[in-house]
Amino acid sequence: MTWRFALVIEPAASDDPRHDFAGTFTVIDASAPALTVGELSTQRGDGVFESIGVVDGHAQEVAAHLERLTHSAALCDLPVPHLEQWRQAVAVAAAACGPGEAVIKLILSRGIEHGPTPTAWVIAAPAADNTSARERGVRVVTLDRGYGIDTPSRAPWLLLGAKTLSYAVNMAAIREAKRRGADDAVFVSSDGFVLEGPTSSVILRRGDVFVTPTPGAGILHGTTQLSLFDELERRGFQTAYEDVPVAALREADAAWLVSSVRLAVPVVAVDGEPLPFDPPFTGSLNAYLLSPRD
């Protein structure tokens, strides 16, 4: 993915009374060097981020993403983002995206070591073509994340519920899945419960009930999952948050990995065992996710 647009933000205090934050944005060359060698986002992964899907210049679920950015910042003891400032920055980036699907990434870093303020920026690029994954599905393997389902409540300093820049483990999990002949991974707890994908939420279908693992177990509350649950409820289905045993994933009537950019991707096999999937139904979910959503 080649970033086409970049915008540096001078972070405003959360109680800044201004209504227009254009003066706090600086558009830069997305291909040019922009960070100093002392930047903690690159040295330590010390920061948080969000990835927002864009369809034909419309940024999707902006409020939900900004709410999660704020939640992640609080968990990491970062300054509270000014929501209106970030909303305006997203609008500027979305306007630069043009037709088709794109992705906007928001980054809030602790900044330079011993520096006075955090570093913040927004970048945008065309999204990868996810058509094949949406239509044909992905094979997943379950990988032990190395902690029990109650670990996040006992050890909040692990930041398991924050969307941090420390994604090396997530990327290693995807590489391991491919080494095992699969396309993606689903993290499970050491005591046998489904958590999430490295870059996605997990939704299971059990009859007419759609289930996702409870976010309180150190799982990011997925913005796409939230939106899909609203849509499924409008269609008359039931939705639920539960502690999901690994066996329930293997026995599900269907399952999806959902995220802001790939959208709803059906799981067609778990640990080498086939799983049923419904292409027309998945297509209807993605048609909804590709419609403008605020």
The pTM of this model reads: 0.94
Which residues, in sequence order, are CB contacts of 114 under 8 Å at separation 6+? none
Q: How far is the C-alpha of 84 from the C-alpha of 180, rounded, in Å?
A: 45
Task: Indicate the pLDDT class of residue 33, thresholds 50, 70 and 90.
Answer: confident
Residue given tokens 């050890």 in the structure block: 155
Burial bucket for residue 99 (CB in 10 Å: 0-12, 13-18, 19+): exposed
pLDDT of residue 160: 81
Cβ atoms of 83 and 89 within 8 Å: the answer is no
Instruction: Tell me what the mean pLDDT of segment 238-259 comes to.
Output: 97
The model's pLDDT over 83-141, given as tens digits with 9 standing for 90+, comes to 999 999 999 999 999 899 999 999 999 988 877 789 999 999 999 999 999 999 999 99
pLDDT of residue 217: 67
pLDDT of residue 39: 86
The model's pLDDT over 146-159, given as tens digits with 9 standing for 90+, comes to 999 888 888 888 88
Residue 1 has pLDDT above 70, yes or no: no
Q: Is the dihedral of CA 130, 135, 139, 143 positive or negative?
A: positive
Cβ atoms of 155 and 75 within 8 Å: the answer is no
Most confident of 26-40, 154-168, 183-197: 183-197
Beta-carbon count within 10 A of 154 CB: 9
Q: Which two tokens stand for residue 230?
A: 């609203």
Partners of residue 53 on adjacent β-strands: 103
The model's pLDDT over 62-77, given as tens digits with 9 standing for 90+, comes to 999 999 999 999 999 9
Residue 279 has pLDDT above 80, yes or no: yes
Instruction: Tell me what the mean pLDDT of segment 262-290 comes to.
Output: 97
Residue 194 has pLDDT above 80, yes or no: yes
Residue given tokens 């924050």 in the structure block: 162
pLDDT of residue 129: 95
pLDDT of residue 116: 75
To 5 degrees, how large is the angle CA 72–CA 184–CA 213? 50
Q: How far is the C-alpha of 188 from the C-alpha of 100, rounded, in Å?
A: 35
Task: Indicate the pLDDT class of residue 162, thresholds 50, 70 and 90.
Answer: confident
Instruction: Tell me what the mean pLDDT of segment 245-250 comes to.
Output: 97
Task: Indicate the pLDDT class of residue 208, thresholds 50, 70 and 90.
Answer: very high
> Domains of the chain, with CATH numbers?
5-126 (3.30.470.10), 131-289 (3.20.10.10)
Cβ atoms of 52 and 68 within 8 Å: the answer is no
